[in-house]
Structures are given as C-alpha cells and as structure tokens.
Amino acid sequence: MLLKDRVAIITGGASGIGRGIGLKFAEEGCSVAIADIRIKEAEKTAVEISTMGVKALGVECDATSGSQVQKMVDKVIEKFGKIDILVNNTGGFGPVISVTDISEEEWERVVNLNIKGTFLCSKAVAPHMMENKYGKIINISSVAAISSGPPNIHYSAAKGGVLSFTIGLATELAPYNICVNAILPGVIKTSMWDASVPPGADKEEFFKQLAEANIPLGRAGIPEDVGLVALFFASELSRYVTGDRLVVGGGLPLTPPPIS
C-alpha cells in the first residue's frame, strides 16, 4: 500500500474532488480527516472511508477562519498523533461575469475561498511537518489558472495565486523534506459544475457535448481522476518532486483535434 500508516487532512473533502481523493487515499491504507464547513456531509464521507478498513474523522472547519483551522489541525493531531499529508482542496467558482461587473465583495469572497484557506491550512500544518522532517502538501488549483475560458477572472486570479503560493512554499519547506505540489483540474463532473448546466438541459448530455467540443480526450473527468494524481503526489512515488504542477484535464488546455 502506497500510503500505509500515513495520515492526511483533506479540506473541502465532504464531496466532489475532495471525497474522491479521500477514497483513493483510503484504498492505499491512509487514515483520513475530512475537514469541511458542512459537518454532516463530512461525517458521512468519513464513515464511508472508515468502512475501507482505515481510521477516518469528519471535522467541521471553515478554511477561511484561522482560529477554526488551528482547532481542526489540533484535533487531527490529537486523534491520529501526526499529520503527513495536507490536501488544500477548499474552493469554488464565482459567477461567470465580466470584470467590469464584479463587486469588491464578490472579488474578496472568491479570492478568500480559493486561496486564503490554502495559506491558513498550510501555515497551521507546517510547524508540525517541519518538526517531523516530513510532509506532503497538495494544493488544488485549476486549469483556469493557466488558460482563458468564460469570464471568471476572480476565480482564475485566485487559482493562479495558488500556483505562486505552491512554488514559494515548496522553496521554503524543502530543507525540511516537505514536498509541495499543485494539481490543476479541468472539467471534473462534480456538483460545482452543476450551475453550468443550462436550465432544462440533461446533465449527462451537456457534459458529453462539452467534452466533445473542448476536451482532447473526449470526456469530462471524474473525481477519481484527480485522486490518482493526488496519490502520486502524496506517496513516495513523487519523493523527488516539489514545486511542480500537473494538469488533470483530459488534454486541456490543448485544442481538441478536428472530428473526421
């Protein structure tokens, strides 16, 4: 097992990509703490993970609150005795809107949601990892950080910030044997994308047409696709990789080949 006896925190782990990563880690023997503002869903996912023969914990946490993040980290250490892996997965879209129409409040909400939590959780976990001279931090950015798409510049800016943060943190923590890397998901079929489905449209058909028109591999991704890459970054398979990024987008942002 690639993660036997390891302990991971996954923020925003109650559903979607976070849940997919948690399940994949559990398959490889990792104990998992699911940190999410939605405590009932977090506990439900933790129970699901525990049925796989590993320890799991659901913890209520608003990743944009420094005090809640520190309490969450302390609780996980108390429960499991250590933290080996942190997956900063908390985030979310803003509305598809022109930069001229984004309010200051909406800008701050989206930027805080996508990058403040990454900073706060990394800050809280780093001292523990530094003391242990070991750690894996995986930051979930987005393909939107490196390519243009629908008007969503506050989301793109925040996810671009996650990339810069990843590089800086990797440099700072490398002397302590802590690897920091980023994953850039493309179109992954989660509830976060449901708002993109036109009213009255069939969701599966929408994703099928979206993929055929925009994604070189011809399909939208699923959370397990991200979980497999997170497993690589969390395990010793990536022991000599830090400050790097990997796009999980079925070929995005490449241009799809023409249909013959």
How far apart, in Å, do the first and last CA atoms of the chain sit?
43
What residues pair up with 182 in beta bridges, in sequence order? Answer: 139, 245
Tell me if residue 155 is catalytic.
yes
Listed residue (126, 132, 148, 125) closest to 9, CA to CA:
125
Instruction: Say if residues 159 and 186 touch (Cβ distance below 8 Å).
Output: no
Choice among 134, 155, 176, 240 that is catalytic? 155
Listed residue (241, 235, 222, 183) closest to 28, CA to CA:
235
Listed residue (171, 169, 188) closest to 88, CA to CA:
169
Listed residue (93, 98, 94, 73) closest to 84, CA to CA:
73
CA distance 124 to 116: 12
Which amino acid type is present at position 218?
G
Instruction: Say if residues 181 and 245 touch (Cβ distance below 8 Å).
Output: yes
Q: Where are the beta strands (DSSP E) in 42-101?
A: 56-60, 85-88
Active site residues: 155
